[in-house]
Amino acid sequence: MAQVAKWQGRSVYGFTRPGDVATQAFARSLGATWAGGSDEMPPELLDAAIIFATVGELVPMALKALRKGGRVVCAGIHMSDIPSFPYRLLWEERQIASVANLTRKDGIEFLRIAPEVGIVTTTTTYRLDQANDALADLRAGKFDGAAVLVP
């Protein structure tokens, strides 16, 4: 995502687990303008935030980082409950939205521009019978990029 956004002329601010300097460096290597812990505020207010983590507690924190009219998008299939938060975080036309998945059209459009963008991927492979190990390593932050299951 960061690589496409940068190619489009947008700035990306990446948030990681607090203190995860390795993942913050990885985000910057992919084109993020800034990367810090989810407990930090970015150096400027954001137009939008996309939350891939399944942690509902991040929603109020993301709202705090938005400028007027900004939108927080929850991009996971599942998320823990969003805690109560003061209305002032939603005030000034801020929005919270969710997306369940991408459409076929989204995939085709991405594959069309990927060669122009010069997408660089980072993967760690696991045998299919190691799927639980892959999930555990993902949760523990033991690799950068994506896990790929192979037969």
Count of domains forming the chain = 2
Percent of the chain with pLDDT over 70: 100
Do 89 and 106 lie in one domain? The reply is yes
Do 104 and 136 lie in one domain? The reply is no
Do 44 and 30 lie in one domain? The reply is yes
pLDDT per residue as tens digits for the range 118-147: 998 999 999 999 999 999 998 888 998 899
Range of the domain at 133: 121-151
37: CATH: 3.40.50.720
Q: Which H/E stretch holds residue 54?
A: none
Residue 102, φ and ψ in degrees, nearest 5? -95, 155
Do 39 and 78 lie in one domain? The reply is yes
28's CB contacts (< 8 A; 6+ apart) are 14, 34, 35
Say yes or no to pLDDT of 9 above 80.
yes
- pTM for this entry: 0.82
Cβ atoms of 13 and 34 closer than 8 Å: yes
Do 57 and 72 lie in one domain? The reply is yes
